[in-house]
Amino acid sequence: MAEMDRLERRLTELAGEVEWPSTPDLRPGVRAGIARARRRRVRLLLVAAVLAVALAAAATAAASIGLRGVTIQRVPRVASPSPPRSGSLGARLALGERYGSVAQAEAAAGFRALVPASLGQPDEVYYQRSPGVLTLVYHPRPGLPATTDGEVGALVMEAAASVDRQSFVKMAGPGTSVRPVTVNGGPGFWISGAEHGFFFYGGGGGRADEFRLAGDVLIWNQAGLAVRVESGLDEPRALALAGTMRRPPV
């Protein structure tokens, strides 16, 4: 026990005699390291935020493409359409209730329609209450060739344009061209090439997954409406038709 006491005293004495190097002040280095780590975290968060905003903007652009009341979605392929309906033209295309005049359909819709002066009064008029689409039907005639439906030369479909209500939904596959155009001074799109999927959002007389294939279409916003013209016309003639869209006199 005495030996242990002497060893402990000697070690204590040696501790006082040994010159230890001065201990540096570690606080500035630690603070700098913490600051660097924080800056890296902030940079990563900023990058993540920028990517999130960019992805959200890209998704929104892909969905709405700058038109109110319209969704145009790029898809890898267009699925098979719903089985064709039978019956009258209005039933086959799920156009809703038929009316005797444009004025009667306007009263049901709650908005004034645009009518192409170049085609005159439509042959048939429909209004689909859900989602609120008014349709003017023009039968084929000289200068207005039939579409894929032999009874249709042109379908002029209109709905109140809204950023929070997408009345028209389109699914464009790889073979379909979606090209921006100017229609009556405003933005629009000429959709052509391979047939694309089309349905009324939340309506059409059936489930939202019921859709049909559509051919060439000109679609745009005008006078507070989303306007869609499906016809057998080429792009210049479709644009010329759109240039004659007017509200008929009361």
Residues 83 and 139 in one domain: yes
For 118-142, the pLDDT digits (tens) are 999 999 999 998 889 999 999 999 9
Q: Are residues 98 and 45 in the same domain?
A: no
Residues 53 and 81 in one domain: no
In the chain, how many domains are there? 2
Same domain, yes or no, for 34 and 139? no
| 182 three-class SS | strand
Q: What would the two tokens of residue 117 be?
A: 């002066």
Burial-class residue 158 by CB neighbours within 10 Å (0-12, 13-18, 19+). Answer: buried
- CA Rg, the chain, in Å? 34
User: pLDDT category, 77, cuts 50, 70, 90?
Assistant: confident
Q: In terms of domains, do 49 and 70 share one? A: no
Checking if the pLDDT of 228 tops 90, the result is: yes
Query: 204: domain range?
Result: 65-246
Q: Is the pLDDT of residue 83 over 90?
A: no
Q: Confirm if 195 and 81 have CB atoms less than 8 A apart.
A: no
- Which is nearest to 218 in space by CA: 202, 244, 237, 199? 237
Q: Do 56 and 83 belong to one domain?
A: no
Residue 180's DSSP bridge partners are: 189
**SS3 label, residue 81:** coil
- The pLDDT, as a whole number, for residue 139 is 98
* E strand segments, the chain: 70-74, 97-99, 115-116, 124-128, 133-138, 154-160, 168-172, 176-183, 186-193, 196-200, 212-214, 217-222, 225-231, 245-246
In a domain, 3, yes or no: no
- Taking 60 as the threshold, does the pLDDT of residue 22 lie above it? no
